């Protein structure tokens, strides 16, 4: 492999799952810096290579802080392996004129599938039934809670009707659910009812599906007040970011039976899980892998390679979140 010129080294933070899966292929194409493979502390590693780093490739759980950005004088590009970019200091990137790009729609279908799967599981108590059978207490245990409701006909409020939210809406609409949504703006070509405020949406929903970005405005948007409006039969599904929900208040409402159930693929302080929920049959928890399929990883690998090729050739990038 030909050694790239100065400022075209790519600092990998995480590393992202797709990088682990395609490390050999990536390394044949680009000059990646891998701090986790050395015993050197990250700040020292960054200081050693700072003059050569033109790009950062980061996972969703690896913060790209103002301090890191400021320590890299030649940095021009930050590429997230996720759709969300709340872990990147966008203000500092804007100040420096650094381009930020994400995974775009690479994961949209897979995350939508996970949202629908979690919802069906919670409503139909599939995981709860699975535990009962494997514990060999069925049919002896007569107090097993049956599924409360059918899914068809339920009012589903979607928080954030971007690419992922629209995929979720399309799937659930086909299953007979009544869809409405809230978003930063009303979508002109969408026929589903729009509510400008979260409390309006929740008041007209039996189920809440969260698929919006985590921002200052959406942080803890789903709090106790929202949950109490949703009510004792209400279900919350979160495939976005954990901190959109006030997790402490969510746990309290679930334990007290103030909402009917939840399906969570994301958590506020990952990789920590709220253990108070482990014994509840109306809760389904998955380890933030809604987007992880072999097909999606391959598509993301191709997407990242295209963006890095474009970066090194001074060509337009795909899925720019912010281009200064």
Break the chain into its structural domains and give their ranges: 9-106+294-322, 108-285
| Cα→Cα distances 137→8, 168, 300, Å | 60, 35, 44
pLDDT of residue 136: 80
Whether 6 has a pLDDT exceeding 60, the answer reads no
pLDDT of residue 130: 86
Confidence class for position 7, pLDDT limits 50, 70, 90: low
Overall average pLDDT of the 112-128 stretch: 94
pLDDT of residue 147: 62
pLDDT of residue 53: 94
The contacts of residue 65 (CB under 8 Å, 6+ apart) are: 89, 92
Structure tokens that stand for 320 in this block: 């720019």
Overall average pLDDT of the 237-247 stretch: 96
Place of tokens 């990536």: 26
Q: Establish whether 155 is a catalytic residue.
A: no
Alpha-carbon distance of 244 to 252, in angstroms, equals 16
92, 270, 318, 320: the catalytic one is: 270
Alpha-carbon distance of 78 to 307, in angstroms, equals 10
Q: Establish whether 141 is a catalytic residue.
A: no
Q: Establish whether 233 is a catalytic residue.
A: no
Overall average pLDDT of the 59-77 stretch: 93
Q: Which of 175, 123, 183 is nearest to 153 (CA)?
A: 175
What kind and span of H or E run contains 101?
A: strand 99-101
pLDDT of residue 323: 46
pLDDT of residue 4: 44
Alpha-carbon distance of 236 to 196, in angstroms, equals 19
Pair 177, 154: CB distance under 8 Å: yes
Confidence class for position 293, pLDDT limits 50, 70, 90: confident
pLDDT of residue 31: 92
Across the chain, mean pLDDT equals 90
20: Cα separation from own chain's centroid: 19
User: At the topology level of CATH, where does 108-285 sit?
Assistant: Rossmann fold (3.40.50)
Overall average pLDDT of the 144-156 stretch: 79
CATH code, 9-106+294-322? 3.40.50.720
Confidence class for position 315, pLDDT limits 50, 70, 90: confident
Q: What is the DSSP-derived secondary structure letter of residue 281?
A: T
pLDDT of residue 322: 55
76, 87, 167, 288: the catalytic one is: 288
The lowest-confidence range among 150-154, 155-159, 315-319 is 315-319
Q: How many CB atoms lie within 10 A of CB 321?
A: 20
Helix axes 108-124, 163-174, angle to 10 degrees: 40
pLDDT of residue 60: 86
Structure tokens that stand for 180 in this block: 């409405």
pLDDT of residue 84: 85
The lowest-confidence range among 60-64, 169-173, 223-227, 252-256 is 60-64
pLDDT of residue 296: 87
pLDDT of residue 143: 56
Overall average pLDDT of the 127-138 stretch: 82
Whether 287 has a pLDDT exceeding 60, the answer reads yes
Domains 9-106+294-322 and 108-285 share a fold: yes
Overall average pLDDT of the 198-214 stretch: 97
pLDDT of residue 312: 79
pLDDT of residue 319: 64
pLDDT of residue 292: 80
76, 125, 241, 303: the catalytic one is: 241
């Amino acid at each position: 492999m030909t050694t790239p010129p100065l400022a075209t080294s790519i600092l990998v933070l995480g590393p992202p799952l797709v990088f682990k899966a395609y490390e050999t292929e990536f390394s044949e194409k680009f000059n990646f810096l891998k701090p986790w493979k050395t015993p050197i502390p990250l700040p020292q590693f960054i200081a050693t290579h700072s003059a050569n780093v033109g790009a950062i490739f980061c996972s969703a759980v690896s913060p790209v802080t103002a301090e890191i950005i400021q320590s890299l004088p030649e940095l021009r590009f930050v590429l997230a392996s996720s759709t969300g970019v709340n872990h990147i200091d966008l203000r500092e990137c804007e100040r420096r004129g650094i381009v930020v790009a994400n995974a775009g729609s690479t994961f949209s279908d897979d995350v939508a599938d996970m949202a629908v799967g979690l919802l069906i599981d919670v409503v139909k108590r599939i995981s709860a039934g699975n535990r009962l059978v494997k514990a060999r207490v069925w049919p002896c245990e007569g107090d097993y809670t049956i599924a409360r409701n059918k899914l068809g006909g339920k009012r589903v409020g979607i928080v954030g009707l971007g690419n992922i939210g629209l995929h979720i809406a399309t799937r659930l609409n086909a299953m007979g659910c009544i869809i409405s949504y809230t978003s930063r703006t009303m979508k002109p070509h969408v026929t589903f009812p729009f509510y400008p405020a979260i409390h309006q949406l929740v008041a007209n929903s039996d189920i809440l599906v969260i698929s919006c970005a985590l921002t200052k405005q959406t942080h803890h948007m789903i709090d106790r007040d929202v949950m109490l409006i949703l009510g004792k039969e209400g279900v919350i599904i979160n495939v976005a970011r954990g901190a959109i929900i006030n997790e402490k208040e969510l746990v309290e409402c679930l334990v007290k039976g103030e909402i009917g159930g939840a399906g969570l693929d994301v958590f506020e302080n990952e990789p920590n899980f709220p253990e108070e929920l482990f014994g509840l049959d109306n809760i389904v928890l998955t380890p933030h892998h809604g987007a992880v399929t072999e097909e999606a990883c391959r598509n993301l690998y191709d997407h990242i390679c295209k963006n890095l090729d474009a970066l090194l050739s001074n060509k337009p990038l795909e899925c720019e979140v912010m281009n200064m």
